[in-house]
Amino acid sequence: MQYKELAEFIEVKMRMSHIYQPVMLMNLLENDGRCHENNIAKELVSHDQSQIEYYTNITNNMVGKVLRSHDIVSRNKTTKEYSLADYESLTLPEREHLIELCKRRLSEFIEGRGEAIFDHRRKSSGYISGTIKYEILKRAKFRCELCGISADNKALEVDHIVPRNHGGSDDESNFQALCYSCNAMKRDRDDTDFRDVKASYGHRKKGCLFCEVTKEKVVDENELAYVIKDGFPVTEHHTLVIPKRHVETYFELGQAEVNAINQILQKTRDEIQKIDSKVSGFNIGINTGESAGQTVFHCHIHLIPRRDGDVENPRGGVRHVIHEKGSY
C-alpha cells in the first residue's frame, strides 16, 4: 500500500471501536515495517489505561508496600515517583550484578511455579471467540453490567458468570459484560450474575408521576436517566434529573444509575450555561424522605441555575432549607 492510500485509510477510512489499529500501525511504522505479534500486544497494553491502573494498584499496594517496609525504596507522594535507597552509592558493576540477580530470581520463580502465575490475567485460559464477545457486549449495550461504565470510558471484558473451574459452560447464557476493574475484583471464585442488576433498571410503578412521564416533556435522556423541566421552577431553566427505574431515594440507586445521572447532570449544566450566559452557579438538591420535603416518592435531583443578585445574600446556599439555620 502506497503512502497516499495508507494516509487516506488512517485519516478517512479507519473505523475505530478501540485504540488498536493506530497503535499497531505506529508500531510497524516505527520498526521498519515488521514487528513480532508479542511486541504489538505489549504496545497495546501500554496504551490501555485500565491495565495501567491495575498494575499501578499492584505497584503501590503490593510490591511497593513490601519494598518500602524493608527500606529498599521510597515513594514521593507529590511526584508519585519511587526511588531506590542509596542508588548513587552503587557502582556500575554492582548495579549490573544486582540486575542479573533479579533476572535469576525471576527465572527461578517462573520455572518453579509455571506460567500459571499469570492465569488471572490470561484470556487464553478461557478463550471466547470475537463473535460471541461482540454479541455479549451488544446485549449489554456496551456497558459494564455491574457499575454501568461505558466501553468508551473503560475497556469491557466478557466474563464467565459461573467460572470454568467451577464447571461453568461457554454458552452465551453464562456470559456477562464487565469492565476490567469489576471483573478483576470478581475473580474466578465468584459466580454472581450481575445481569439481573441491569434487568432491574426496567422496573416502573403504575401511577407514579415520574414513571409515566410523557415523551413530550423529556428534554434529554440516556439509558438510565432522563431530564425534564421543573413544573414549578424556582429560577429559569430549573430542571430535574430522574432515574428511569422506580426507586424512592438517592440511596437506593445502583452505581450504574449514579454514573448515568452524573453524566446527564453535567451535560445539562453545560447546556444551560451555553444558552444563558448570566448563570454563574448552581444548587443541586435531593429531597429524601417526607421529613426532608420529598413529595414525589421517585428519586429526582434538582438542578437550579443561579445568577449574581438573584437573592440579596446567597451565603449558606442549601443550608437555608432549615429556616434561620443557614447563616454562619
Three-state secondary-structure class, residue 243 = strand
Give the residue among 122, 132, 121, 130 at the shortest CA–CA distance from 171: 132
- CB-based contact 187:120 (threshold 8 Å): yes
**Percent of the residues in the chain that have a pLDDT greater than 70, as a whole number:** 90
- CB-based contact 137:177 (threshold 8 Å): yes
* Residue 110 CB neighbours (<10 A): 13
Which letter does DSSP use for residue 227 in this model? E
Structural domain boundaries in the chain: 3-47, 86-118, 128-200, 215-321
For residue 147, give Cα distances in angstroms to 176, 203, 289: 13, 18, 26
Q: CA torsion sign, 124 to 128 to 134 to 136?
A: negative
- 215-321: CATH superfamily: HIT-like (3.30.428.10)
- The predicted-structure confidence for 150-190, as pLDDT tens digits, reads as follows 887 788 888 888 777 777 777 777 888 888 888 877 766 66
Q: Which residue has the cell 517462573?
A: 110
- Grid coordinates given for 114: 509455571
Give the residue among 131, 171, 123, 143 at the shortest CA–CA distance from 260: 143
- The predicted-structure confidence for 49-83, as pLDDT tens digits, reads as follows 767 776 787 788 778 888 888 889 998 989 988 88
User: pTM of this prediction?
Assistant: 0.51
